[in-house]
Amino acid sequence: MFEAVETLYENPMGCMEDIEHWRLEGSAKIDCMDDRIILQNKLDPDLFGDDAHWVFGCPEEFPDRIIIEWDFYPMEEPGLCMIFMAASGQGGKDLFDESLPNRTGKYPEYHSGSIDALHLSYFRHKHIDERAFRTCNLRKSCGFHLVSQAAEPLPPVEDARPPYHMKLIKYEGIVQFTINQLPILEWIDDGLTYGPILRGGKIGFRQMAPMKAAYRNLIVRKALLKK
């Protein structure tokens, strides 16, 4: 059982000024409406393929043992939504170190490139096989390792009743994920099978075109393990 004990970062994500220092990798439309940040691809995926996807990264550096929470509003699909956590450049570099190769939103740059990260896809409605059997996937990189998989309860957009409150805990080797207080996924990294436990780093959101979604009330807190 984990308890939030100190707020490290709080962002209402209610206007453009709230995300003015965030870093966009790739091309995206970023708007604000109804006190929410709305994110959508700028490039047509039928014309640009994987170049139409993108990543939007928070500039803050976080320690290990954190609880990440945000409200999620799916608006248009098909598409896929993902969050990165414990993301950093290899060799102890900052995720945004200028010496790292440029990243443009293509997934291989993140799972098999020059960074280490955990990435959780929690709305996987992009391809027909993903829509037919819906799962949340947790991967660890570098290496594209699928380390955990669980059922995904989020409905199609036409049936959605957002906001959906997402809660993601990263505490040493433990990863826990809930939606609207419903436990979805838990994984314990042994620090051996897929390399050392990732500790600290940055977080960011990724969408696959033509997904349109809104985000609000991002908050990151220190986590305390209650015994």
> Rounded to whole angstroms, what are the CA distances from 43 to 46, 84, 206, 208?
9, 22, 15, 11
Q: Residue range 94-104: average pLDDT? A: 96
Tally of domains within the chain: 1
Residues 6+ apart with CB under 8 A from 193: none
pLDDT in tens, 48-87: 999 999 999 999 999 999 999 999 999 999 999 999 999 9
CA R_g for the chain: 16
CA 84 distance to own-chain centroid: 4
For residue 59, whether the previous peptide bond is cis, meaning omega lies within 30 degrees of 0, is no
CATH code for position 23: 2.60.120.200
3-state secondary structure of 42: coil
Q: What pairs with residue 88 in β-bridges? A: 116
Q: Is the pLDDT of residue 227 over 80?
A: no
Q: What is the pTM of this model?
A: 0.96
* pLDDT tens, residue by residue, 29-38: 999 999 999 9
Residues of the domain holding 18 = 2-225
Centroid of chain to Cα 60: 14
Query: How far apart, in whole angstroms, are the C-alpha atoms of residue 71 and residue 12?
Result: 10
pLDDT recorded at residue 124:
96
